[in-house]
């Protein structure tokens, strides 16, 4: 049996620093996306945004992007 990496999951960081995403949203899996930058690019195609907050990258789904 051979083990293969399953890739990286990117989930929504919520509309603000103190609130979790109400939908527990995550970027839909794409077969070809294995690294975090590739998955984030998939999310941007679905309407997600990537912002910097406190020196870190924060991923926001469409609902949280509109709520922030």
37, 8 contact by CB (below 8 A):
no
SS3 readout for 26-62: ECCCCCCCCCHHHHHHHHHHCCCEEEEECCEEEEECH
Closest by CA to 68, choosing from 25, 16, 20, 18, is 16
Query: pTM of the entire structure?
Result: 0.79
Q: What is the pLDDT along the chain (68 residues), one digit of tens a residue?
A: 777 777 788 999 999 889 999 999 999 878 888 888 999 999 999 999 998 878 888 999 999 998 87
Torsion of Cα atoms, 25 then 27 then 53 then 16, to 10°: -10
64, 14 contact by CB (below 8 A):
yes
Q: What per-residue confidence (pLDDT) applies to 3?
A: 72
Q: What per-residue confidence (pLDDT) applies to 61?
A: 96
């Amino acid at each position: 049996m051979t083990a293969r990496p399953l890739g990286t999951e990117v989930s929504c960081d919520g509309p603000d620093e103190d609130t979790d995403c109400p939908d527990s949203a995550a970027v839909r899996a794409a077969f070809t996306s294995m690294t975090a930058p590739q998955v984030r690019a998939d999310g941007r195609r679905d309407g997600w945004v990537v912002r910097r907050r406190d020196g870190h990258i924060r991923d926001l789904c469409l609902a949280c992007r509109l709520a922030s």
